[in-house]
Structure 1
């Protein structure tokens, strides 16, 4: 088998595994390769960390080395594929706009957003791809609430200098102080007139508080009367489940 042919066949195996873990026989059938060839390729790929055996004698899955390379090429895209199901479910269960931001220095970068299609009244301006100072949006407040007091003070100093005017420190402290023990930020038009929002921070693969999930909608409509507690609980639980998902790869 030539070097080029080996590479082509290895990528055929990896493309098959990108859909989910499979055994050698299934991989061979889907890649249209001899089982013996697939076994040799898997052994070589496993040695490099490109694939891994799910359990002894079990199927194979994409390995940590390949996942790391993919994440380094486009971290946001990798996170988006993992988090999408979480925000789609939040939007569906609440009728709100759901999405997530990730921390980039002193800013929250708006990565993805999903609107519930059932009610056009809930649709808000899509701010995907934009960055905002952490203190200026609910998901940013959620991330700030996970920082130490000193780290917050240092952030305030940097953000004030960047804005050219001082941030209202006492107001920021009050907003952080209102974050519940469950880590949920509830904004009732506090940061955006006419918009109510709920947000909670999540941990990234390295265990650090790297981003936040949010739900939002027009204040006259979202959340429904008496539904705020349920919505907050849904966001909190989703953030915890997402943190566990990212920690476990």
Structure 2
């Protein structure tokens, strides 16, 4: 595997080894890592041994399989605690999930995907996994639609073809453009079974001191718990209030002081 110009090959290879664990399997053999990374098995084995010494991976003493190590949890915790949106949103999102019994999620845009900064589960929307650090498509999620408010050329970002995850997913840019303009007008986005069947959410944009959309927050859960036919107005008001509170914490002073991104 040739290193790109200006990069350190050893660091690049180590990152590729760690990336093998992002495919969904918790524990891997050396041969699995070698296959994913395109490295020779002996090279993969040496890199894993080095990463084990600094606790970036750990090896099960019985099975001999490798899994990600505790040092990465420490690094992830430091990174997310230093993020200004996470600092402002964490407690507010946690309180929202507790009060409503639904999921509360905060995410920003990373390239053509949304990237979760934190999530909390209420009693009506339990999860057996953590969303933090995971990614989802912009066009098929409530937060993603809010984040697209700050993207002038959505077609250039997302490509010509929009993948349909369910029959409800926006499949054309004309359709997506109409949805994003509706979000701009009403101040919040909805998503009903567009990414996964049986799920829905309501989201609102988070603004920085310049009035730019830097993140979004959503309330999510099963269709029966969200009950948007009866509760859309109530839930939209709650999520907008929390988004506005986070925006204020980030320095946003309103449309009088900065360009408005929310009508």
CA distance in 1, matches of 2:154, 2:97: 31
C-alpha distance in 1 between matches for 2:158 and 2:112: 9
In structure 1, the residue matched to 2:126 is 123
Partner of residue 3, structure 1: none
The structure whose residues are more often helix, as a share, is: 1
Q: Retained in 2: the 8 A contact 1:138–1:191?
A: no
Which of 72, 79, 82 is residue 74 of structure 1 equivalent to? Answer: 79
State yes or no: 1:107 paired with 2:110: no
C-alpha separation in 1, matches of 2:194 and 2:160 = 22
Q: Identify the residue that residue 201 of structure 1 maps to in structure 2.
A: 205
CA RMSD of aligned residues (A): 2.8
In the alignment, structure 1 segments of 5+ residues that lack a partner are 1-72, 162-166
Partner of 1:38: none
Deviation at 1:132, TM superposition (A): 2.2
Q: 1:98 Cα shift?
A: 0.1
Q: TM-score, normalised by structure 1?
A: 0.58
| Cα separation, partners in 2 of 1:242 and 1:157, compared to 1, 3 Å | same
1:228: Cα distance to partner?
1.9
Which one of the candidate residues 167, 170, 180 is aligned to 1:176? 180
Deviation string, structure 1 residues 182-232 (Cα, Å, up to 9, x no partner) = 420012223321101001111135542111001100002224762221110
In the alignment of these two chains, the number of paired residues is 167
How far residue 144 of structure 1 moved from its aligned partner, in angstroms, is 0.7
Larger Rg over CA atoms: 1
Structure 1 position 111, deviation (Å): 1.3
Q: 1:211 aligns with which of 208, 215, 238?
A: 215
**Do the aligned partners of 1:207 and 1:247 also contact (CA within 8 Å) in 2?**
no
Aligned equivalents of 2:202, 2:228: Cα separation in 1: 13
TM-score (norm 2): 0.55
